[in-house]
């Protein structure tokens, strides 16, 4: 029995498909239900056999529909894509680059399309990845992004500590992670720090929107895990197309696409992806963190019926979204106008609509049910992360400095009040 | 036939992404292939790849670039010179 090791790009699926191309129509049992011409290669949208090209069109169509229907991207925007290397964000990268190129080409000499940049967060220190592996990962990401001729920012997760000394940042991150005993809490704090760092990058580099490649499948897993963590009050917040709790509002254009379809798209169109270890990849099916159990649960549900993740997200979508789940009309423009004219006014969303947010994960906090807890944190963070006051003191300084609830939200928008 | 692994699965196969598989018969099913993989290729942590007779939920299977769900799932036939790709989508971000 022979095994070919090493340079497997030489015998990749691409080569295999050349070899079997002419057998394709013999083998196929169905014809694509969209174009009715090509052989179907994948079962998508739950029950639709599709050829690779129609699968691509279908996903691109959903992507563009989300952006257009919710007016998520304007020509004045500078979009930052959070690229993890995985198939979902790889597809988002490909499509954003394509949409932008089309916009630039059509406008010719007039105003250009939206600005687009990419950010990659190296979380290797949190996981214990070797320096070589981290460096290799960054090289692959740089190669992928440079081919699309887009600016790339690479940050290490420990930089969220905003210390000039890199060693100190690394130590602070290690200390914080060591102090969080709960496995779910560790995963959650890494995610919280990632979002903090993404926000910092967007703010520093002048981006107006942050796009993340969250798929239906992953959002469904989040819905289930949020339920298990007691985040009922905040549940609606993280499952919408838009989340304006961040300096650059977060946009999820792949919310209606299942991970399977995105992975297949990357395979059929040879979109290079990067597998990175993270906490969940180190974990067995029987592992006990809430996040991995819920993720496995959603994938298991999909086995018999691949629409189940869509159903979960649709059900959660029935919950009333928060005020920050909409984009303020002409967001930045009205702010800059107020500054220029020197008019003393408040943002339309301030005051009574402003929900109190957990200073750590930004979940809306239901003050009525948290009378005895520290008002700065939501119940979930209190139980999973900051149950030990020692942990609070190890958080990044700028998070520690945040005041409770409404006071903090107000400070976020203070620069815009005159 | 060739068995390819993607999306991190290759780590379970000794970091080798592609294996050439010699079959005793001219045609087998995916189910039989999985048994063969379990006995001959899986270096560690079988539960990360297999669950019962099938693959772990979240692992995609393509035969000659066809979704196995179109080809009969576990009963899908695999012939000489076919190529099977396993892609893990568990960490899809």
Q: Of B25, B19, B30, B83, give the one whose Cα is nearest residue A24.
A: B83
The token duo for A329 is 């009309």
pLDDT, one tens digit per residue, over A210-257 is 999 999 999 999 999 999 988 888 999 999 999 999 999 999 999 999
Instruction: Look at residue A153 in the predicted model and tell me its pLDDT.
Output: 97
Whether residue B83 lies inside any domain: the answer is: yes
pLDDT band at A150; cut points 50, 70, 90: very high
Q: Is residue A176 scored above 90 in pLDDT?
A: yes
- B65 and A281 within 8 Å at the Cβ level: the answer is no
Nearest residue on chain A to B23, alpha-carbon basis:
A1
- In this structure, what token pair is assigned to residue A353? 């609509």
Which CA distances in Å does A189 have to A126, A235, A353, B45?
10, 18, 27, 27
Mean pLDDT of A388-395: 87
Output phi, psi for A353, to 5 deg.
-85, -10
pLDDT for the residue numbered A5: 29
- Name which of A1, A27, A215 is nearest B92 (Cβ-Cβ): A215
Tally the domains of chain B.
Answer: 1
pLDDT of residue A175: 95
Mean pLDDT of the A320-347 span: 57
At A110 the pLDDT is: 55
* Closest chain B C-alpha to A214 CA, distance in angstroms: 6
Give the pLDDT mean for B33-44: 85
Lowest mean pLDDT among A203-212, A349-358, B68-77: A349-358
Residue B51: inside a domain: yes
User: Three-state secondary structure along chain B?
Assistant: CEEEEECCHHHHHCCCCEEECCCCCCEEEHHHHHHHHHHHCCCCCHHHCEECCEECCCEEEEECCEEHHHHCHHHCEEECCCEEEEEECCCCC
Tens-place pLDDT, residues A265-277: 999 999 999 888 7
Quick check: B55 and B61 in contact, CB under 8 A? yes
Q: Is residue B20 part of a domain?
A: yes
Percent of chain A exceeding pLDDT 70 equals 78
Whether residue B70 and residue A28 make contact (CB cut-off 8 A), yes or no, is yes
Backbone angles phi, psi at A48, to 5 degrees: -105, 115
| CA-based nearest residue to A259, from A214, A294, A304 | A214
Alpha-carbon distance A208 to A280, whole Å?
30
**Residue A112 pLDDT:** 56
Q: Which residue has the higher pLDDT, A360 or B11?
A: A360
Query: By CA distance, what is A93's nearest residue in B?
Result: B93
Q: Would B93 be classed as within a structural domain?
A: no
Domain assignment of residue B67, given as a range: 2-88
Q: Which residue is it, tokens 């990058």? A: A201
- In a domain, residue B50? The reply is yes
- Cβ atoms of residues A169 and A159 within 8 Å: yes
Pairing mode, if any, of strands B59-63 and B66-67? antiparallel
Contacts A284 to B, Cβ<8 Å? 45, 47-48
ipTM of the complex: 0.92
pLDDT score for A23? 41
Residues in chain B: 93
Look-up of token digits 């926000």: A199
Residue B41 binned pLDDT confidence (cut-offs 50, 70, 90): confident
Check: CB of residue A145 under 8 Å from CB of residue A90. no
pLDDT, mean over chain A: 82
- Residue B71 domain flag: yes
Q: Which residue among A4, A42, A284 sits closest to B20, beta carbon to beta carbon?
A: A4
Q: How far is CA A330 from CA A99, A348, B23, B75, in A?
A: 22, 12, 64, 56
Is there a domain that residue B15 lies in? Answer: yes
Longest dimension (CA), chain A: 78
**Could you count the other beta carbons within 10 Å of the beta carbon of residue B52?**
7
State the Cα–Cα distance between residues A299 and A322, nearest whole angstrom: 28
* Burial annotation A187-222 (CB, 10 A radius, 16+ → b, else e): bbbbbbbbbbbbbbbbeeeebbbbbbbbbbbbbbbb
Contact list, A89 vs chain B (CB under 8 Å): 93
Of B19, B66, B87, the CB nearest to A263: B87
Confidence of residue A25 (pLDDT cuts 50, 70, 90): very low
> Helices (DSSP H) in A206-307: which residue ranges?
216-228, 259-268, 290-304
Asked if A30 lies within 8 A of B40 by C-beta distance, the reply is no
Confidence of residue A19 (pLDDT cuts 50, 70, 90): very low
pLDDT of residue A347: 38
Higher pLDDT, A370 or A139: A139
CATH code for position B48: 3.10.20.30
Does residue B63 lie in a domain region? yes
The pLDDT assigned to A402 comes to: 86
Alpha-carbon gap, residue A110 to A75, rounded angstroms: 11
Q: How many CB pairs under 8 A join A and B?
A: 139
Structural tokens at position A166 = 């890199």
Nearest neighbour of B66 by CB, restricted to A41, A212, A281: A41
How far is it, in rounded angstroms, from Cα A280 to Cα A181? 16
DSSP state of A245: T
Distances from the Cα of A335 to the Cα of A153, A341, A346, angstroms:
27, 10, 10
CB-based contact A87 B92, cutoff 8 Å: yes
Are A96 and A211 within 8 A, CB to CB? yes
Per-residue confidence (pLDDT) for residue A339, from 0 to 100: 42
Categorize the per-residue pLDDT at A401 as very low, low, confident or very high, splitting at 50, 70 and 90: confident
Q: Average pLDDT of A143-158?
A: 96
When pLDDT is averaged across residues A270-289 and rounded to a whole number, the result is 75
pTM of the model: 0.85
């Amino acid at each position: 029995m022979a095994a070919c090791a090493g340079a497997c790009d030489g015998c990749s699926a691409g080569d295999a498909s050349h070899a079997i191309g002419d057998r394709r129509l013999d083998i196929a049992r169905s014809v694509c239900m969209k174009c009715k011409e090509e052989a179907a290669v994948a079962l998508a949208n739950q029950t639709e056999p599709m050829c690779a090209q129609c699968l691509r069109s279908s996903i691109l169509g959903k992507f563009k529909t989300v952006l257009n229907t919710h007016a998520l991207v304007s020509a004045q925007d500078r979009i930052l894509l959070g690229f993890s290397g995985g198939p979902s964000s790889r597809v988002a990268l490909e499509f954003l680059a394509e949409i932008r190129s089309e916009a630039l080409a059509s406008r010719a000499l007039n105003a250009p399309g939206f600005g687009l940049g990419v950010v990659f967060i190296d979380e290797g220190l949190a996981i214990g990845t070797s320096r070589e592996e981290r460096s290799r990962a960054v090289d692959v990401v740089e190669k992928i992004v440079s081919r699309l001729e887009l600016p790339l920012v690479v940050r290490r997760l420990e930089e969220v500590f905003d210390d000039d000394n890199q060693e100190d940042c690394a130590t602070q991150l290690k200390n914080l992670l060591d102090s969080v005993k709960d496995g779910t809490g560790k995963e959650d704090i890494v995610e919280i720090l990632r979002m903090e760092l993404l926000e910092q990058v967007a703010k520093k580099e002048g981006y107006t929107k942050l796009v993340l490649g969250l798929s239906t499948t992953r959002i469904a897993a989040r819905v289930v895990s949020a339920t298990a963590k007691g985040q009922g009050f905040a549940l609606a917040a993280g499952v919408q197309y838009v989340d304006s709790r961040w300096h650059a509002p977060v946009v999820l254009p792949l919310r209606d696409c299942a991970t399977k379809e995105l992975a297949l798209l990357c395979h059929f169109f040879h979109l290079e992806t990067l597998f990175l270890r993270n906490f969940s990849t180190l974990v067995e099916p029987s592992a006990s963190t809430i996040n991995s159990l819920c993720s496995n649960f959603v994938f298991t549900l999909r086995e018999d019926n691949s629409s189940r993740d869509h159903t979960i997200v649709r059900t959660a979508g029935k919950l009333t979204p928060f005020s920050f789940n909409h984009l303020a009309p002409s967001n930045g423009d009205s702010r800059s106008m107020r500054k220029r004219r020197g008019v003393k006014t408040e943002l339309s969303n301030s005051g009574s609509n402003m929900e109190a947010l957990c200073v750590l994960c930004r979940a809306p906090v239901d003050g009525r049910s948290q009378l005895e807890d520290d008002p700065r944190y939501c119940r979930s963070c209190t139980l999973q992360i900051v149950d030990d006051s020692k942990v609070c003191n190890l958080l990044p300084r700028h998070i520690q400095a945040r005041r409770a609830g409404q006071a903090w939200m107000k400070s976020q928008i203070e620069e815009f009040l005159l | 036939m060739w068995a390819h692994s993607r999306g991190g699965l290759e780590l379970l196969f000794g970091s080798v992404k592609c294996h050439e598989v010699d079959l005793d018969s001219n045609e087998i099913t995916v189910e039989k292939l999985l048994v063969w993989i379990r006995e001959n290729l899986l270096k560690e942590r079988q539960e990360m790849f297999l669950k019962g007779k099938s693959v772990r939920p979240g692992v995609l299977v393509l035969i000659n670039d066809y979704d196995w769900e179109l080809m009969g799932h576990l009963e899908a036939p695999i012939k000489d010179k076919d190529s099977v790709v396993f892609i893990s989508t568990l960490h899809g971000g």
